[in-house]
Each structure stands twice: as C-alpha cells, then as structure tokens.
Structure 1
Amino acid sequence: MEYEFTIIVPLYNEQENLLRVEKELAKYLNIATKKSCILFVDDGSQDNSLALVKEICKRQTAFHYISFEKNQGLSAAIKAGFDYAATAYIGYIDSDLQTDPEDFNLLLDKIEDYELVTGVRSDRKDAFVKNMSSRIANGIRRSFTHDGMDDTGCPLKVIRADYAKRIPMFKGLHRFLPAMILLQHGRVLQVPVRHYPRIAGKAKFHLTNRLIGPFLDCFAYLWMKKKYINYKVNDQA
C-alpha cells in the first residue's frame, strides 16, 4: 500500500495517553484527505510506552514505530521521523493530543501551495504560566528569525518531505522549523487549529526549558543561518 502522508508521533513516558492516541489517529485515518500512516518515535521511554506501542502496531496495519536506545529529546525524535518517513508529506503531532488529528486536513488543504503549514493555537487551554512563557519565548525567537510565526511550538505541522529531510537538525531546532524552511526559500503558512487541555501524563517542558533553552538556541540558529548552504542545480548530464 502506497502512502502519501506520514504522521510522526514522538513520545516519552506517555503510557497513559497511548490507547487514546491509537483511537483518535485510527479514526483520523478514515477521513484523511491523503493516504496516511503513523510513525511512533519512542524517545527511550522508561515506562510501559514501548510495549503499548508494539501492541498497537500489531493490530493497526498503518501504524509503525522506531525506538531509541536512550532518551535523546524531542528534536532528535522529530529528526528520526523525518529520516524514516517514506512519503511525500510528513506531519507531526504530540502524543498528549492537545491538538486534534482531524485538523491535519486543514493543513493538508493548503500544503500544495506551501512547503510547511503549521497550526497556531488560537484559543490555548494551558495554564497561565505556560501560556505566558510560550508567548515570551515566541516573541524572543521571532525577533531573531523574523519568520512571522506566532506559535512555532504548536505540535501540529505538515511539511513537504524533500524540505524536511534537508533540515540540519540540532537539539532545540523543533522550535525553528518554519525558519529552517524559509532558509531553503520555502513558503510557510500558519492556520488556526483547535487546542485542548492535557488530560493524562505529564508535560515535558517547564519554565526553564521553555525560556532559557529557546533563547540560547536562537544564537545557534543565527550561526546556522550564516553558514547554511542552499543550492539549486539547474543542469546536469
């Protein structure tokens, strides 16, 4: 069966969410506007997540997984998903399901005219401190990248695979995906999507790694922007 769209689901210690993830993603596959498959990326979970993922993949033919030897972080999990996906389009959603898989269709509806379409959580359901720290972090990042994006942390994105696979990932770069597409002279768009409160599991980000880490990563991005190689072949024999 030839798929057009791979949905990457990074996860770390999300055993409480995974059966709900299976249910919601299986439901989405029935209405997806492109033939879709799921790729779990287990980031070295220490709970029962990997065992559950293996069970899910046995009973769901469109579900697949890879697992890390040890915890490497979200950027590494996304990078691995980009590397292992074999479809023309790649999506990404968090395993906490604070965004709705059905909204992938909103993004896929626009992807023919863009290289990356990202969700923007217009009515966030997070706690005040989390919302404020994310707004501050987005403002800092936007002042460095000038990418025009209001919510790069939104865990709902669709990217053309040929652009995704050319992104030179480093830790923290998941916050800079639109900027990295712009470096390739790609086109980016943000689309409002639904957002829900987390109902199970524990958030992996807190005030420190939502503010200090992204601020330091901005300098890494500026270095990469200065050194980035972007070429286009116009003839060959």
Structure 2
Amino acid sequence: MSDIVLSVVVPVYNEQDNLTPLINEITAALRGVVPFEIVYVDDASKDRTAEVLRAEKARVPELRVVQHSRQSGQSTAIRNGVKAARGQWIGMLDGDGQNDPADLAKLWQEHLAAPADVKLFAGWRTTRRDVFSKRISSKVANAVRSRLLRDATPDTGCGLKVFEREVFLDLPYFDHMHRYLPALVQRAGWQVRSVPVAHRPRTAGVSKYGMLDRLWVGISDLRGVAWLIKRSKRTTAKEL
C-alpha cells in the first residue's frame, strides 16, 4: 500500500519555462509537512514541456508525469491526474506559476483542523495579479455563477484546491467541470471551505484562455450545472 497521503496534480500545456521553478517550490513547501507526490499532466504540449518534465523526473523523486496523446483540455487533464494519483487527498494548482505552492501547506492545515464533512478547500484570490480584462471577466463570471448556483464560494476560478480523491471521482464528469467543483461537491452532500490565498503575476508563457472563451463556454456550463443540481437526489443508505 502506498504511503502517499497528498497527491499534487498540476495540469500543463506549453509551460516549459514554468516547470522547474514551480516543482522546486512545491517540494520546498511540502517536504517534511506531509508524505506527497507530484503528478504533472502534460496536455500534449507543443513546446519542450515533455522534455523538461523527463529531466525533472530524474531529478525529483516525488515527481510523476502523465502525458496525453492529444490535447483534451484542463478538466480532462485534472481528472486523469487524479485517477493516476495514489494519495487519498489531492492538492491542485495551475502550472503557470500564479498560484503560490506555499498555500498548499496552508490548505492542508485547514483540512487537518476541519470537520470530516468538509471535502473541498478552495483557494480564494483576494488580490488578483492579472490584466484588467481578465479580472473584470472573472468578477462578472463569479457574480453570475454565485447568483445562479448559490454555491457560497467567492472564487471558483482559483486553481489552488485541496479535496478528497474519492469525492472528486464520484462527481459527474464533463469538460470545464473544474470551474464548478464547489457547487458539484455541495450537490454531492459535502461541505466546502474557501481559504484566502496569494496570487502572483505570470512571469513566463502566455494565458491559454481569453474573455470570450470563458463567457460563451460558461453560459452553457452554468445551465448544465444548474440542471444537475435541480435534478439531484441524496439519501443515506446502509446494508442490512
């Protein structure tokens, strides 16, 4: 049986220059805190991401690498990383370096002190370090989502999260589902806690999403998630 407790899943696409610094920060944040592994999922990058990850794998014993045969998007990358993970709990952060890995340890401590029914600890970027258009689009999206889904979560777009692996794999899977994890976890009958975390400017590479991408996809997804919540039924069950 694996002695891994926390699996850190990092989905990446064309992030060759952010890999080594972020891996170093993750290991520095978690070594001595919790038995962990790092699972990078390369979403069929076209730059040197795969080459750099192979070199890092030889250097960092905690690192594992999963590679997609074709580009499939962030939600699929996250799900495949979680499926490959050996820990009971998953830590998740974006591969662009804007999430501070030190906050993984912060979320983990929140988990250790929380009631057992809190299954998702979501990062809350109280101070955004993005361009103006991205901050505005995110603010509008969060307001609309919160009003429609009533998920009581101020920032679902933050990639930094800690959640139970089994709970995640029991959620309905669809493209872009990672943006609605709080609502989906609550739909499954569990509690969610938002935790203030740091946010940093991107120093290498480029963002993979634009404002219009988020807007049109988000409208369709919101309707779908609202339907799922409306149609859900929960009850306890026991074996006789």
TM category (shorter chain) comes to: over 0.9
The one of 184, 198, 202 aligned to 1:180: 184
Distance in 1, Cα, partners of 2:205 & 2:45 = 13
2:100 counterpart of 1:96 = no
Once the two structures are TM-superposed, the CA of residue 229 in structure 1 deviates from its matched residue by: 5.8
| Deviation digits for residues 84-132 of structure 1 (CA, Å, limit 9, x no counterpart) | 1121110110111111111112211222421100110011111111100
Distance in 2, Cα, partners of 1:130 & 1:34 = 34
What letter matches 1:234 in structure 2?
A: K
2:131 counterpart of 1:130 = no
Report the counterpart of residue 119 of structure 2 in structure 1: 115
Runs of 5+ unmatched residues, structure 2: none
Q: Is the 8 A contact 2:156 2:179 kept in 1?
A: yes
Q: Is the 8 A contact 2:124 2:155 kept in 1?
A: yes
Cα–Cα, structure 1 residues 96 and 233, in superposed 2: closer, same or farther, change >3 Å?
same
Once the two structures are TM-superposed, the CA of residue 29 in structure 1 deviates from its matched residue by: 2.8
Report the counterpart of residue 6 of structure 1 in structure 2: 7
Once the two structures are TM-superposed, the CA of residue 233 in structure 1 deviates from its matched residue by: 3.1
Once the two structures are TM-superposed, the CA of residue 30 in structure 1 deviates from its matched residue by: 2.0
- Count of equivalent residues: 235
The alignment yields a C-alpha RMSD, in angstroms, of: 1.4
Q: What is the TM-score with the length of structure 1 in the denominator?
A: 0.94
| Deviation digits for residues 148-205 of structure 1 (CA, Å, limit 9, x no counterpart) | 1111001100001121111122111111001110011101000100111000001011
Q: Is the 8 A contact 1:137 1:215 kept in 2?
A: no
| Deviation digits for residues 5-61 of structure 1 (CA, Å, limit 9, x no counterpart) | 000000000011112122212212325x32111000111111110111111112111
Distance in 2, Cα, partners of 1:231 & 1:71 = 38
Q: Is the 8 A contact 2:82 2:90 kept in 1?
A: yes
Once the two structures are TM-superposed, the CA of residue 74 in structure 1 deviates from its matched residue by: 0.6
2:73 counterpart of 1:69 = no
Q: What is the TM-score with the length of structure 2 in the denominator?
A: 0.93
Report the counterpart of residue 156 of structure 1 in structure 2: 160
Distance in 2, Cα, partners of 1:76 & 1:222 = 21
What letter matches 1:146 in structure 2?
A: R
Report the counterpart of residue 209 of structure 1 in structure 2: 213
Q: Is the 8 A contact 1:29 1:37 kept in 2?
A: no
Once the two structures are TM-superposed, the CA of residue 216 in structure 1 deviates from its matched residue by: 1.4
Runs of 5+ unmatched residues, structure 1: none
Q: Is the 8 A contact 1:57 1:63 kept in 2?
A: yes
1:52 match: secondary structure: helix
What letter matches 1:14 in structure 2?
A: E
Distance in 1, Cα, partners of 2:86 & 2:207 = 30
Report the counterpart of residue 200 of structure 2 in structure 1: 196
Distance in 2, Cα, partners of 1:39 & 1:229 = 34
Distance in 1, Cα, partners of 2:56 & 2:3 = 20
Distance in 1, Cα, partners of 2:3 & 2:37 = 10
Distance in 2, Cα, partners of 1:209 & 1:61 = 37
What letter matches 1:56 in structure 2?
A: E
1:192 match: secondary structure: strand
Moved more, 150-159 or 138-147: 138-147
Q: Is the 8 A contact 1:140 1:215 kept in 2?
A: no
Percent of paired sites with the same residue: 31
